[in-house]
């Protein structure tokens, strides 16, 4: 282990000299406190180091020890249900050893190296294997089977496998003779540098939606499994609640939640809620398929920059097993602020609003790690979906982080302060948001929801757009001065907004809405619209239509239980019967 000495300390940035063998992104231990740091700039034999811990008390002359290895995470059984900090230190073990605050210099492995796991071999000696090939399985939690794979970069003939039994993650479970003739031992645990994307066999276009149970997302602005989405919005508009809802209800087999620079009380809510929540599909605790990475705003800023890479590397690992993984990053603005702070201390040329000139590149590299892929070493398909929250100052959508993110993601959920002030949640603006996956997902929706779904969705959005235009006129001349057709447009658009798009995250029924129920709700609204339009043509006054008693069944549809089509059938029958009665009365009146 080579050694240098500190030349300068500037907050989390330490400059060390006497390090001619240093390499970019190598991990170092700073001073005899053994503070963990990472080399981010090299000039001659001087290395600039971002330290992931508090640097108070360091001074010139203190030693710096280089490990010669990049910042890496441990990947293996035991990741699920864990709560890590930004550099994969398990916070429960940190607390047991150091108390409520992370002690400087504490270094605990990310995985338990003493725990025994029940390993079941699946590969046969004599077969040809390569990176990603499955060797065996471990039942990691009640929900997830952990698939032990050959690490990337190793290929050859499988010489030997251990029998089924209980082993630690450090025990060799297989021997592989490589092309060079050497024999490599494969363990259940592997390490991977966080800044390097894990290799895949082939990337494919997302053709299946990630169902979230949130109506405005699934129906109007869906994200595909393996896709990317961003949720920008001002303070108080509900970014974190949306991220929590996605983490709880998205139909992903694995969830990785990264709290990057968020307030401690918000992360506390996550850490307290997840162990108590049930997975809606299995009835088991949701934490059994979740990995939490917590780096709150009072933790060292440099570790915040590393936390998103830690999270995405863990997510890629489970994707390579063939699972559908959802990564929630909340928020990438705090990540960008950490980059800005480190860039300023390095005295780099600033870009827009002081962010580093490479901000766009870093954001693109992060989101490019998403995708639906054919995994290496087997006929498996995995998907990694990344949803990033962005917190621009004052809700300014021209913020560099927002603009750099929008250039690379394909789904934009625009949170609006005006909707939040009106207590309309999720506060996603239906006129400003978009999804570029709608065409990719067309076949899936036609197969699962029927061929009429796309047309119904398009007509609904068109009504909401027409409402925005008519509201300006209605404010000037009054809604009752508009034509009967325009009044119906305003009525139906209001129903779409209040009865369909508005969703109560804290209601036990309304918090999640399946695609079939979404279609039933939207169909009820749109078929009511068509029935009313026919009644207007028959001479029924608009006010009489809008005051029918059965209209309340549309508002109560959100509370209808899942798998209860009879509710919607009865509601539509009652509405049509009441409208038919009005039409008959109008015909009699017209005959007179």
104 in a structural domain:
no
Residues shown for the chain: 592
412 in a structural domain:
yes
Q: Output phi, psi for 309, to 5 deg.
A: -70, -40
Task: Mark whether 442 and 464 lie in a shared domain.
Answer: no
Opening angle at CA 560, ends 554 and 563, nearest 5: 125
382 in a structural domain:
yes
Task: Mark whether 444 and 463 lie in a shared domain.
Answer: no
198 in a structural domain:
no
pLDDT at 262: 75
pLDDT at 105: 81
553 in a structural domain:
yes
- CATH number at 382 reads 3.40.50.300
pLDDT at 592: 57
Name residues whose C-beta falls within 8 Å of residue 502's C-beta, 6 or more positions apart in sequence: 424, 425
- CATH number at 60 reads 2.40.30.20
Final residue belonging to a domain, choices 449, 464, 487: 449
Task: Mark whether 394 and 503 lie in a shared domain.
Answer: no
Task: Mark whether 469 and 546 lie in a shared domain.
Answer: yes
Going by C-alpha positions, the residue among 207, 192, 143 that lies closest to residue 383 is: 207
The Cα–Cα gap between 86 and 386 comes to 18
Name the residue range of residue 39's domain.
Answer: 3-70
99 in a structural domain:
no
Cβ 231 vs Cβ 413: under 8 Å: yes
Task: Mark whether 405 and 319 lie in a shared domain.
Answer: yes
If 0-12 CB within 10 Å is exposed, 13-18 middle and 19+ buried, where does residue 454 land? middle
Task: Mark whether 300 and 360 lie in a shared domain.
Answer: yes
Task: Mark whether 461 and 414 lie in a shared domain.
Answer: no
Sign of CA pseudo-dihedral 296, 87, 254, 404 = positive
If 0-12 CB within 10 Å is exposed, 13-18 middle and 19+ buried, where does residue 154 land? middle
Task: Mark whether 366 and 243 lie in a shared domain.
Answer: yes
C-alpha torsion angle, residues 495, 499, 502, 507 (rounded to 10): 170
91 in a structural domain:
no
Final residue belonging to a domain, choices 19, 37, 70: 70
The count of structural domains within the chain is 3
pLDDT at 1: 62
Task: Mark whether 491 and 383 lie in a shared domain.
Answer: no
The Cα–Cα gap between 101 and 104 comes to 9
Task: Mark whether 471 and 372 lie in a shared domain.
Answer: no
User: pLDDT below 50 — which residues of the chain?
Assistant: none
Final residue belonging to a domain, choices 23, 42, 70: 70
Going by C-alpha positions, the residue among 223, 277, 231 that lies closest to residue 252 is: 223
Percentage of the residues of the chain whose pLDDT score is greater than 70: 99
Task: Mark whether 390 and 529 lie in a shared domain.
Answer: no
If 0-12 CB within 10 Å is exposed, 13-18 middle and 19+ buried, where does residue 259 land? buried
Cβ 183 vs Cβ 172: under 8 Å: no
- CATH number at 457 reads 1.10.1140.10
Task: Mark whether 471 and 524 lie in a shared domain.
Answer: yes
191 in a structural domain:
no
pLDDT at 426: 93
């Amino acid at each position: 282990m080579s050694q240098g000495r500190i030349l300068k300390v500037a907050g989390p940035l330490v400059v060390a000299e006497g390090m001619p063998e240093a390499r970019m992104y190598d991990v170092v231990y700073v001073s005899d406190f053994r503070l963990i740091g990472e080399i981010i700039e090299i000039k001659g034999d001087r290395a600039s180091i971002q330290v992931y811990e508090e640097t108070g008390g360091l001074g010139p002359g203190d030693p710096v020890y280089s490990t010669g290895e990049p910042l890496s995470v441990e990947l293996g059984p035991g990741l699920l249900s864990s709560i890590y900090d930004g550099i994969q230190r398990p916070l429960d073990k940190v607390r047991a050893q150091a108390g409520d605050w992370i002690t400087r210099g504490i270094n605990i492995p990310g995985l338990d190296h003493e725990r025994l796991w029940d390993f079941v071999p699946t590969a046969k000696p004599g077969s040809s294997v390569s990176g990603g090939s499955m060797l065996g399985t471990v039942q990691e939690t009640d929900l997830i089977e952990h698939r032990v794979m050959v690490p990337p970069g190793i290929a050859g003939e499988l010489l030997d496998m251990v029998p089924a039994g209980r082993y630690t993650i450090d025990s060799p479970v297989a021997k592989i003779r490589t092309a060079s003739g050497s024999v490599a031992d494969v363990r259940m645990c592997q390490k991977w540098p966080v800044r390097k994307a894990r290799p895949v066999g082939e990337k494919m276009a997302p053709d299946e939606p990630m169902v979230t149970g949130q109506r405005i997302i699934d129906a109007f602005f869906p994200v595909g499994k393996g896709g990317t989405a961003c949720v920008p919005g001002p303070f108080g508009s509900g970014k974190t609640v949306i991220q929590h809802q996605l983490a709880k209800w998205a139909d992903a087999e694995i969830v990785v939640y990264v709290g990057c620079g968020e307030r401690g009380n918000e992360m506390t809510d996550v850490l307290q809620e997840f162990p108590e929540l049930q997975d809606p599909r299995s009835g088991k605790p949701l934490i059994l398929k979740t990995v939490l990475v917590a780096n709150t705003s009072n933790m060292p800023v440099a570790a915040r920059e590393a936390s998103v890479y830690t999270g995405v590397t863990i997510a890629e690992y489970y994707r390579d097993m063939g699972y559908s993984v959802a990564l929630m990053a909340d928020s990438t603005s705090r990540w960008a602020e950490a980059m800005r702070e480190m860039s300023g201390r390095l005295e780099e040329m600033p870009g827009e609003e002081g962010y580093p000139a490479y901000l766009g590149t870093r954001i693109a590299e992060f989101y490019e790690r998403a995708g639906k892929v054919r995994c290496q070493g087997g006929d498996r398909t995995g998907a990694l979906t990344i949803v990033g929250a962005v917190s621009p100052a004052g809700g300014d959508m021209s913020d560099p982080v927002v603009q750099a993110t929008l250039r690379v993601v394909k789904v934009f959920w625009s949170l609006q302060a005006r909707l939040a002030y009106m207590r309309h949640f999720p506060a996603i603006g239906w006129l400003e948001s978009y999804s570029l996956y709608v065409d990719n997902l067309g076949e899936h929706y036609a197969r699962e929801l029927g061929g009429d779904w796309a047309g119904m969705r398009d007509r609904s959005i068109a009504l909401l757009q027409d409402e925005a235009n008519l509201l300006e006129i209605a404010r000037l001349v009054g809604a009752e001065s508009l034509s009967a057709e325009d009044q119906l447009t305003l009525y139906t658009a209001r129903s779409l907004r209040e009865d369909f798009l508005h969703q109560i995250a804290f209601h036990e029924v309304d918090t999640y809405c399946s695609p079939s129920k979404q279609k039933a709700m939207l169909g009820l609204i749109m078929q009511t619209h068509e029935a009313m339009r026919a009644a207007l043509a028959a001479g029924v006054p608009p006010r009489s239509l809008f005051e029918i008693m059965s209209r309340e069944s549309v508002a109560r549809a959100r509370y209808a239980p899942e798998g209860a089509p009879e509710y919607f059938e009865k509601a539509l029958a009652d509405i049509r019967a009441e409208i038919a009665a009005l039409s008959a009365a109008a015909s009699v009146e017209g005959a007179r």
